[in-house]
Structure formats: C-alpha cells, structure tokens
Amino acid sequence: MAVLVGPHTKVLCQGMTGRAATFHCGRMLSYGTRLVGGVVPGKGGARHLDLPLFNDVRTAVAETGANATMVFVPPDNAAAAIIEAIDAELELIVCVTERIPVLDMVRVRQALAGTRTKLIGPNSQGIMVPGVTQLGVMSMVDATPGRIGIASRSASLTSEIVLQTTRAGLGQSTTIGVGGDPVHGVDLKTCVELFLEDPDTDGIIVIGEIGGTEEEEAAELIAALKPKKPIVALVAGRHAPAERRMGHAGAFASSSGDGTALSKIAALQAAGVVIAPNAARVGETMRQALSA
C-alpha cells in the first residue's frame, strides 16, 4: 500500500501546456502515471499530449474522475490555482511552483482548513511510488520498489537518499518532497504519521534542513508515540551561517539559535531517532537500524 497516491490516482495538470509542464507530464506518462487531462483557462476543448484540456478544474474533475492535480502555474497565479483545486474537492494537490508570495500561501492554508484536501508543496519535487506513479518533477532513475518511506525538504538530497536506499537493497515505499518554502502544506510530522500507519513501510527516513520547526514537531510526535519502526534522520546545514537564506526560502536560521541544524538534531535524538553521520551514510544507517 502506498502513501497518498497509488494505482487509483487519476491526475490533472494545471498549466499543462507550459514548457516545463509539457516535459514533466511526458515523463510521468512514460512512467505509468494516470494523467487524465489538463486545465488551462481559454484552451478548453483542445488536446495536449493527446489528453483533453479544460477551462476549469471542476469541469475537468466531472469529465475525467480525477482525484489529484499538479500545479505548474507561475507564482503570481499559483495560489489561485491551488484554491480552485481545493474548491473542486480534490484529495491531493502537488505544487512544484517556486517563489509563491508568502501572503498568498497564507490564504491557501486558510482555504485548506477543514477540507479533505492534502497539499504537497509548493516548491516541491513531488511524490513517487516506485514502479507505480510519480507526480511532479522527482527523478525516477534510481528509484526501486521497497519498504522505506522518505520525507524530505531537499530535492537534491532526496535523489541521493533514493539512490542509497536502492543500493542498500531497501528500496522505497513512497517518497515525498514536502517543499522548501516557509508556508506549505503536508509537513514532516504528517509524513511520519502516514508512514507509521502504513503496513508496507518498515522504516522511515526524514531529511530536514535549517529553518522553521518541522523537525522539532516531528520529534515531539515520535517521542509521544515511541514507534517500533526505525526512523533515521539527516539535517542539512550544520555549518550554515545565521541570518542568511541557504537555497530554499524556508532554509533560514536566526542568530538566536532558533531553527539551527544542531537544535533539530538534538530534538530528534532525544526522541529516539537515529541521526545519520553525514549525507553519504543515510542508506547504510537505515540498513543497520533495520537489522538492530
């Protein structure tokens, strides 16, 4: 059983005719993702990648039976596209768009409240169940079916850890990129909860970084539940300078010590999480944790 997506997932793409969306939708179709149509206002009735286009999400859902969507819409209109998908009662939204204004994302979070919709992103590489489906821009090259759930704030480290778990003979049950923006949807804590409930996930890898409190919140959950499944974490940015953004908009540690890698590592260790010594040893650390 996969987390959040699976063979049943029927996917729309908002902004499908753009260059990036066209490229990645082609990749997803080749991988087996059940992409059923696109939403591009003003282009309803046309076809793209041999799939139907619709003017709005609600019509697309009614015509295709879609239960998920991807947002490849530019930053100035991305929040409106997400809210349109929420109003259409889609179960899952994956937003890859970067640089959405923070205030726009606050409005998105308000729109999500009380709904059944789960948002992954923005600024996310997406979600993947190896050999089944992939929504977003995540690399599929090194992924292989397995029983390790991966939740990550970093796209590049996700690719590295997917490769390591494949080489360790573990594979992945589901890989989720929560996104690098300070205000987003599904967080690391939620991913941990989902993986703990999944009978086909035997171990969990959390890839964190400086900024925010997601890792600490996940640590609080883990400390309270005391799960039997091994959890391994890597927190990037131990040597990052304070008061400076490091790549992601959300990767920011204050000079007061809040949001630092060391504070996050301490919280996770106190909760019983195994900390990987460096980025090159995450897969091996998980293999050892499973055999302990």
Q: Is residue 250's pLDDT more than 90?
A: no
Instruction: Measure the CA–CA gap between 120 and 129, rounded to whole angstroms.
Output: 15
Q: Is the pTM of this model over 0.85?
A: yes
Contact status, residue 149 vs residue 172, Cβ threshold 8 Å: yes
Q: Is residue 209's pLDDT more than 80?
A: yes
Instruction: Measure the CA–CA gap between 58 and 197, rounded to whole angstroms.
Output: 31
Contact status, residue 128 vs residue 159, Cβ threshold 8 Å: no
Domains within the chain, CATH numbers bracketed: 10-120 (3.40.50.720), 141-291 (3.40.50.261)
Among the residue ranges 161-170, 194-203, 204-213, 238-247, the one predicted with the least confidence is 238-247
Q: Is residue 292's pLDDT more than 90?
A: no
Give me the chain's average pLDDT, please: 93
* pLDDT at site 211: 84
- Respond yes or no: is residue 248 known to be catalytic: yes
Q: Is residue 249's pLDDT more than 90?
A: no
